């Protein structure tokens, strides 16, 4: 017998032992509201993040306006507003959640998802985008606007790491309403389907292309054109369509496009005695000058023949800012910037790539930085703060005068930024930070090698899973014993890598196909296939299971002779 699908399994769940089975695939024409819920915004347990997810049952009739139930509160960063006035959820999902996550069974009860309307039969399989529903006999008319988009707050609510994606994988997110006609509603009111404009677009099918099958451009274009679809989802479909068209155009143009773009330095500013900031502007701006995501890297070709990668503090593809610390043992990069580069200086810029992946499933984000390492995280912290994510920065400096971008850090507030001044005897303790971090935290480290080595040791000793730690090195130990490499898919070409050379540098000197970005072992852009031989793995860009068959050519080194493919 074939295995049952999620939908088939759900079609026979019961809500309450005495209730008849609920067929979640049955067509919807009427249903009845079991509970009406509303609540106030308050901090989530263990966090400073505010949320309106904790809602209480309303026994009396409540008035519903264009903004939803009067006196119901939301964190308007992601919830509430005219297109998310009410959240409906099928209570028949809760027994299935209890069965799948028995360790959190007591939390999977009506109201658990922060819904306003608790129903039993309406669900994502028989509710369609744009449906118009009349409620009760007091004139209230609602329209289905979009699926609920789950976020980390569901993980925290049910105390289950990475729970949120399960809701859209199984199409058990609930849906939002906009209000077409104001009116009163109460528990026991009947909900009636009065108009169905898009019978082909159930909430489940919208989620298919919103989450599970994002590459179908025909469906993306169709959904982008449906005016009744709320902007949160419709905007995502429009963005995909625009990106696909831009990518196709770029592929056509890139055949003859140069790999390096000409920029000029338009600003140079001393941030601290050791850190200088530079603003670079394109000589010929790109038509697609979109903003760079937080944590991006810029590959810069210097006038002394060196190529270096630096974290972007902020900016877009045509104008961005770097901050560079003058290193005591500079290999030529930071020294060149500090001593030779002035306003008007020409530089060539190659790849602009993202280095820090979003970790939206985490309840709390802990950034640990030392010195110029703040430049990798500053834009990301500001972005998280702007959308009310829980985050904190632990920042170690030599003295108060060694703090760059002080104004931006002060705007974040003392509750988000903790500065450790070594000149005052203050010490950043990674063991203490790790020992006291809240549940479901994501860790980020960037700083000098001593800080990074301690972070790796402590997190490893504490058994913190690798996906929950991000290492953003800004310097890398690339030297070592010489070794030989055979490139199997290039006619078994044999190359020698010197003690002060990297494998990446040697490969680029002979072949054009070798890509790279950060060149300090963070991003895995330079990953190549390892066929034979022993490798000393360095950097953080590979998962443990990848190290048997891959290596990072920018930092890792062979022992003796190795065989690779590029």
Q: Is residue 136 classed as helix, strand or coil in its secondary structure?
A: coil
How far is Cα 369 from Cα 391, in angstroms, rounded to an integer?
14
Encode pLDDT of 302-346 as tens digits.
Answer: 877 777 888 899 999 999 999 999 887 666 788 889 999 999 999
Per-residue pLDDT at 29: 93
Per-residue pLDDT at 407: 93
How far is Cα 561 from Cα 436, in angstroms, rounded to an integer?
45
**What is the DSSP secondary-structure string of 162-215?**
T-HHHHHHTT-S-EEEEEEE-EEE-TT-EEEEEE-S-TT-BHHHHHIIIII-TT
Per-residue pLDDT at 117: 98
Encode pLDDT of 456-502 as tens digits.
Answer: 999 999 999 988 999 887 656 667 889 999 999 999 999 999 887 88
Closest CA to 164 of 144, 148, 186, 145: 148
Regions of the chain short of the pLDDT cut 50: 1-18
Per-residue pLDDT at 19: 55
Q: Is residue 36 classed as helix, strand or coil in its secondary structure?
A: strand
CB atoms within 10 A of CB 269: 12
Per-residue pLDDT at 466: 84
Per-residue pLDDT at 345: 95
In contact, 97 and 166? CB cutoff 8 Å: no
Per-residue pLDDT at 474: 64
Kind and range of the H or E run holding 40:
none
SS3 content of the chain, % helix, strand, coil (to 5): 25, 30, 45
How far is Cα 23 from Cα 21, in angstroms, rounded to an integer?
6
pTM of the model: 0.77
Per-residue pLDDT at 254: 56
Per-residue pLDDT at 105: 96
Kind and range of the H or E run holding 557:
strand 557-565
Q: ∠ CA 134-137-140 to the nearest 5 degrees? A: 45
Per-residue pLDDT at 476: 61
Walk across the sheet containing 62-65 and list its strands: 68-69, 62-65, 183-185
């Amino acid at each position: 017998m074939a295995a049952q699908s999620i939908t088939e399994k759900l079609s026979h769940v019961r809500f309450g032992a005495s209730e008849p089975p609920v067929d979640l695939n049955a067509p919807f024409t009427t249903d009845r509201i079991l509970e009406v819920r509303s609540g106030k915004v308050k901090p989530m347990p263990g966090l400073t993040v505010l949320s309106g997810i904790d809602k209480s049952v309303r026994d009396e009739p409540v008035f519903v306006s264009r903004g939803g139930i009067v006196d119901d509160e939301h964190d308007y960063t992601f919830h509430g507003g005219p297109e998310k006035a009410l959240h409906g959820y099928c209570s028949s999902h809760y027994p299935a959640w209890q069965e799948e996550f028995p360790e959190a069974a007591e939390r999977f009860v009506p109201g658990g998802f922060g819904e306003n309307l608790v129903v039993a039969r309406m669900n994502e399989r028989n509710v369609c985008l744009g449906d118009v529903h009349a409620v009760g006999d007091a004139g209230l008319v609602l329209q289905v606007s979009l699926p609920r988009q789950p976020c980390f707050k569901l993980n925290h609510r049910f105390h289950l790491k990475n729970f949120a994606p399960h809701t859209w994988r199984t199409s058990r997110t609930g849906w939002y309403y906009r209000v077409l006609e104001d009116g009163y509603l109460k528990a026991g009111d009947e909900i009636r389907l009065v108009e169905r404009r898009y019978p082909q677009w159930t909430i489940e099918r919208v989620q298919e292309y919103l989450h599970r099958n994002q590459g179908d451009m025909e469906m993306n274009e169709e959904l982008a054109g449906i005016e009744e679809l709320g902007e949160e989802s419709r905007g995502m479909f429009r963005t995909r369509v625009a990106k696909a068209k831009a990518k196709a155009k770029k592929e056509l143009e890139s055949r003859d496009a140069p790999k390096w773009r000409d920029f000029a330095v338009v600003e140079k500013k001393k941030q601290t005695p050791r850190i200088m900031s530079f603003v670079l502007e394109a000589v010929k701006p790109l038509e697609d000058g979109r903003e760079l995501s937080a944590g991006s890297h810029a590959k810069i070709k210097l006038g002394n023949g060196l190529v270096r990668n630096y974290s972007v503090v902020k900016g877009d593809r045509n104008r961005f800012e770097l901050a560079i610390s003058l290193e005591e043992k500079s290999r030529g990069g930071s020294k060149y910037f500090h001593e030779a580069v002035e306003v008007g200086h020409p530089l060539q810029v190659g790849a602009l790539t993202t280095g820090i992946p979003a970790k939206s499933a985490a309840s709390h984000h802990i950034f640990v930085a030392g010195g110029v390492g703040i430049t990798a995280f500053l834009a990301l912290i500001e972005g998280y703060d702007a959308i009310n994510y829980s985050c904190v920065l632990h920042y170690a400096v030599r003295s108060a005068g060694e703090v760059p971008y002080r104004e931006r850090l002060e705007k974040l507030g003392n509750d988000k930024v903790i500065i450790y001044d070594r000149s005052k005897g203050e010490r950043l303790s990674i063991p203490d930070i790790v020992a006291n971090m809240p549940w479901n935290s994501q860790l980020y480290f960037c700083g000098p090698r001593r800080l990074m080595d301690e972070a790796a040791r402590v997190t490893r000793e504490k058994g913190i899973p690798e996906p929950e730690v991000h290492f953003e090195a800004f310097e890398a130990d690339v030297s070592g014993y010489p070794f030989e490499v055979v490139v199997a898919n290039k006619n078994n070409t044999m190359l020698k890598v010197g003690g002060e050379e990297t494998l990446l540098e040697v490969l680029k000197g002979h072949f054009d196909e070798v890509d790279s970005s950060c060149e300090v072992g963070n991003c895995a852009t330079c990953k190549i296939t390892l066929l034979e031989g022993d490798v000393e793995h360095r950097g953080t860009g590979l998962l443990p299971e990848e190290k048997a068959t891959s290596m990072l050519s920018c930092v890792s080194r062979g022992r003796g002779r190795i065989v690779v493919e590029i």
